[in-house]
Amino acid sequence: MTGTLLTLVFLAVIVGAAVVVATYVSRRRKRTDEAAILQSQLSDAIARESQLQGLHITPTARVSGWRSSQVTIEVAGEVPTPELRERVMRIVSAEAWKLRPDVQTVDHLFIVPPRRVPDSLAPR
C-alpha cells in the first residue's frame, strides 16, 4: 500500500513539473514571437526614414523568460552625427511606445564621422 502511494505521489510530482515546464516554454515562445514582430516593425520604421537611408542601424529585441519582464530594444549601428543619433533614438522610442508602452530602449549607436577621400585618390 505504501509503495503504491509513493509511486502515485512521484507520478503526480513528475506530471506537475512537466506542466510547469510546458507553461514556461509556451509563454517564452509567445514573448519571443512578440519581440520578433516588434523588432520587424521597428526595422520598417527606420527604413521609412529618408535621412537614415544608407545607414546600418539594427534594432534587436530581447526578452527574458519571466512573465513580468520587459522587452528591451537595443539599437546598434553607426551614425555620422550626434543629431542623427538622437533622431534615431527618438524614432525608435516613439514607435516602440506606440506598439508596446512597456518597452525599454537601449542606445548602442556609435558616432562615426564620414571619411574624407583625399583629392589625389578621388575618382575623376
Q: Going residue by residue through the chain, which has 124 residues, state the pLDDT in tens, using 9 for 90 and above.
A: 888 999 999 999 999 999 999 998 888 888 889 889 999 999 999 999 888 888 899 999 988 766 667 789 999 999 999 999 999 999 999 999 998 888 899 999 999 888 776 666 656 5
pLDDT attached to residue 51: 86
pLDDT attached to residue 120: 60
Return the SS3 of 102: coil
pLDDT attached to residue 102: 85
Alpha-carbon distance of 109 to 89, in angstroms, equals 9
The β-bridge relationship of strands 72-79 and 57-62 is antiparallel
Assign domain 2-111 to its CATH superfamily. Cation efflux protein, cytoplasmic domain (3.30.70.1350)
pTM of the predicted model as reported, rounded to 2 decimal places = 0.72
The three three-digit cell numbers of residue 124, written as one number: 575623376
pLDDT attached to residue 115: 76
Question: Helix-strand-coil percent breakdown of the chain, rounded to 5?
Answer: 55, 20, 25
For residue 52, give every residue at least 6 positions away whose Cβ sits within 8 Å of its Cβ, in sequence order, or none: 46, 84, 87, 88, 91
Instruction: Look at the block and give the residue holding cell 522610442.
Output: 93
